[in-house]
């Protein structure tokens, strides 16, 4: 089974909820905007039943250039991770 595209997802949500596709698209855009804003300012955004987006500081570390084999320093940086909720794990597994 092929992965669902964003357009297919929006169409499916519109069909299942009885709302117009443009309303579903607007809702998802607002939800994404809220998530990004909260993760940036507060460090996390919780989606009940799915999980949460968490801002994590990754420490500097040593790495290896696969082409040359040379050891390089990888700088510290901030990344966003998604932690899956227990309910979602149980539903899928």
Would you list the domain boundaries of the chain? 1-41, 43-93
Quickly name the fold that domain 43-93 has.
Answer: HU Protein; Chain A (4.10.520)
Question: What are 75's two structure tokens?
Answer: 């700088």
- Per-residue pLDDT at 90 exceeds 70: yes
Q: Flag whether the pTM goes above 0.95.
A: no
- Residue located via tokens 């990344």: 79
Mean pLDDT in the chain?
94
- Per-residue pLDDT at 91 exceeds 90: yes
- Per-residue pLDDT at 1 exceeds 90: no
Question: What are 78's two structure tokens?
Answer: 């901030």
Nearest to 9 by CA among 1, 21, 19, 18: 21
- Tell me the pLDDT tens digit for each residue of 3-12: 999 999 999 9
């Amino acid at each position: 089974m092929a992965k669902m595209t964003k357009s297919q997802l929006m169409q499916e949500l519109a069909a299942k909820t009885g709302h117009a596709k443009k309303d579903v698209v607007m809702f998802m855009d607002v939800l994404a905007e809220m998530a990004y804003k909260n993760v940036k300012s507060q460090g996390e955004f919780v989606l009940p039943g799915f999980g949460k987006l968490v801002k994590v500081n990754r420490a500097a570390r040593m790495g290896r250039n696969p082409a040359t084999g040379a050891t390089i320093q990888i700088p510290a940086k901030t990344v966003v991770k998604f932690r899956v909720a227990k309910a979602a794990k149980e539903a899928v597994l």
